[in-house]
Amino acid sequence: MNCRRHGSKPTIALWMLVAAADIGLLVAATGVVTMLLIVAALVALAGGVFAIRAISRQAAEAGSRPAVQGIPRATVGAMARPVVRAVETTGRRRA
């Protein structure tokens, strides 16, 4: 029979300790220099992916920007809406 009570689960801290031990065993098996090279390559790859996504996002936004520069988008959108003003039917001007 199982010794653990029903419903009790290991905490995340236990799994973090297991993960740290696994990394330690991996470093010991492959060597410190090899692991540093692998980590550096992964960091460079992640930075490249991040840079490509940032550049493509800027390019996509540049194509959808309004022609008026320096004015927030909400203001430009409001300016593009037609302005309807009330017109007097009597033809007399207000003083």
Judged against a pLDDT cut of 70, whether residue 74 lies above it is answered with no
Provide the whole-model pTM. Answer: 0.44
Please check the confidence at residue 82 and state whether its pLDDT lies above 70: no
Query: Rounded to whole angstroms, how far apart are CA atoms 57 and 52?
Result: 8
Q: In this structure, what are the phi and psi dihedrals at residue 13, rounded to the nearest 5 degrees?
A: -65, -40
Of the candidates 46, 81, 16, the one whose C-alpha atom is nearest the C-alpha of residue 24 is: 16
Q: What is the percent of the chain where pLDDT is above 90?
A: 34
CA–CA distance, 9 with 22 (Å, rounded to integer): 21
Q: By three-state DSSP, how is residue 72 classified?
A: coil
Digit-coded pLDDT (tens) for 23-68: 999 989 999 899 899 999 999 999 999 999 999 888 877 766 555 5
